[in-house]
Structure 1
Amino acid sequence: MKVTLLLLLFPLLWWPLTGFAQKAVLKTNLLHWATLSPNVGVEFATGKRHSVAVQGGGQFWEYSDNKKLKHWLVQPEFRWWPCETFNGHYIGVHALGGQFNAGGIDLPFGIFDELETKRYQGWAAGAGVAWGYHWMLNRRWSLEFGIGLGYLYIDYKKYKCVQCGKAQKDTHRNYLGPTKAAISIVYAL
C-alpha cells in the first residue's frame, strides 16, 4: 500500500522541483468506464517535451448475475513528446500494478481462459512501452488516444467456481501483450 501511495504522489512531489513545469492536466479513460471502472489521471509537464503521468482506477462491487470484476490499478508513465508537451504524438514508458478478484467474465487476449466459469484472485505488476496522440480541441479540452505493449507478472489463486471458497491452484503467469488502451477526455488546469 505504501508503494502505491508513493507511485500516486511521485508526480505531485516531482513537479515543484522541476522549476520549469508549466502545465498540468486531469484525465479519465473512457475505455475503463466502458467496464464500469471509475478512473482518474493526472499529468504534469516536466519540460518542453516531456511529462509524467499517473492513471488509477478500479471497480469495487459485484454484478447481480454472479459475475465479478473487482480490481484496482495504478499506472505511472514517463512521456516524450517530439514537438511539445500535450500536443500531437508521444512515446512513453510505463509501469503498472494492481490487484484483482474476478469470475464469470469473458476477458479479451486469453489472459485467463476459464474466467467465465472459474474465479481468479491475485495481483499483477509489470512495465511496457506506449505510443499515443493528444488531440487539442480547444484551450482547455483535449482527447487522447494511447496503446501500450509490455510484460506482466501475474500471481494468482484459481477457484473452482465464481462463488466457491477453497482455492484449486496457487500459481503465477507471465504475460506479454497489450498493457494499455486509452481513449481519454483531458482537461488542462
Structure 2
Amino acid sequence: MRKRAFLFCALAACALAVSAQSYSLRSNILGLATTNLNLEASMTLNRKWSLHLPVQYNPFKFGSNRQFRNFYAAPGARYWLLESYMGGFIGMYGTAGMYSVGNLFGSKYRYEGEGYGVGLSVGKAYQIGRRWNLEWEVGAGAVWLAYDKYLCKRCGDLVDSDYGWHFLPTRAALNLVYLF
C-alpha cells in the first residue's frame, strides 16, 4: 500500500511539474525583413526564469553576387522582472554561427567565417492576445570572429584573413510570440 501511495504521489508531482511548464515559439520580424529565416523555442523553468533557443538561417544569394548568408544559434536564459513571458527581462546567451556576407551597401569585399561568443540583452514583452505577445530585445557581447576577406569583383581573390575578439551588438529583435 505504501509503495502505491508513494508511486501515486511521485506521478502526481511529475504531472504538476510538467503542466506548470509554459512553452512558446517566436519569430523575429526584423530578421525576416532581412531575409533571415528564424524561429525561437522557449520554456519556463519557474515564474522568473526561462530557457531559449533561437536559430536563424539565410541561404539566399542576390543579384550581382550580393549575399547575407548565415547560420546562427544563440542558446540562453532570461530572468523576468515580473513573471515569465510578462514585462521586462534581462537575458544571457551564447552565440555560434557561420557566415558569408558581401557586396552589400557599396562594400568591395566578401567576408566568410565563423564566430563564437557570449552576450547580455534587455527587453520587454507586451501581451497582445490570450496566446500572443509582442516583444523587443537588444543585446551586445564579446564575440571571437575568424574570417577570410575576399575581393568581390571576382569573389575568389583572398585579400586577408583575421581572427580575434570583438565587442559587437549581437541581438536586435522585434518578436511575435505564440504561447502554449
- TM-score class, shorter-chain normalisation, is 0.7 to 0.9
Task: Provide the residue aligned with 1:147 in structure 2.
Answer: 138
108, 117, 121: which one pairs with 1:117? 108
- Deviation string, structure 1 residues 15-41 (Cα, Å, up to 9, x no partner): x9x936520000000111111111000
CA deviation map 1:96-151 (0-9, x unaligned): 11000111113xxxxxxxx7111110001111111110111121111010011111
CA RMSD of aligned residues (A): 1.8
Structure 1 position 174, deviation (Å): 2.4
Q: Give TM-score, length-normalised by structure 1.
A: 0.82
* 1:57-72 pair list within 5 angstroms: 57-72=56-71
Cα offset for 1:162?
A: 5.3
Q: How does 1:47-62 map to 2 (within 5 A)?
A: 47-62=46-61
TM-score if structure 2 supplies the norm length? 0.86
Larger Rg: 2
Contact 1:89 1:134 in 2 (8 A): yes
Provide the identity percentage.
27
Gapped runs of 5+ residues in structure 2?
Answer: 1-13
Report the CA distance between 1:154 and its aligned residue.
0.7
Q: Shift in Å at residue 173 of structure 1?
A: 3.7
**Residue 169 of structure 1, aligned match among 136, 149, 160:** 160
Q: Secondary structure at the match of 2:108?
A: coil
Distance 1:154 1:81 in 2: 30
* Matched residue, 2:44: 45
Q: Is the 8 A contact 1:67 1:162 kept in 2?
A: no
Q: 2:87 is aligned with what amino acid?
A: G
Query: Which structure dedicates a bigger proportion of its chain to strand?
Result: 2
Tell me which of 120, 123, 143 is aligned to 1:129: 120
* Counterpart contact for 1:132–1:146, Cα < 8 Å: yes
Determine if contact 1:103/1:162 at 8 Å carries over to the other structure: no
- Give unmatched runs, 5+ long, in structure 1: 1-15, 107-114
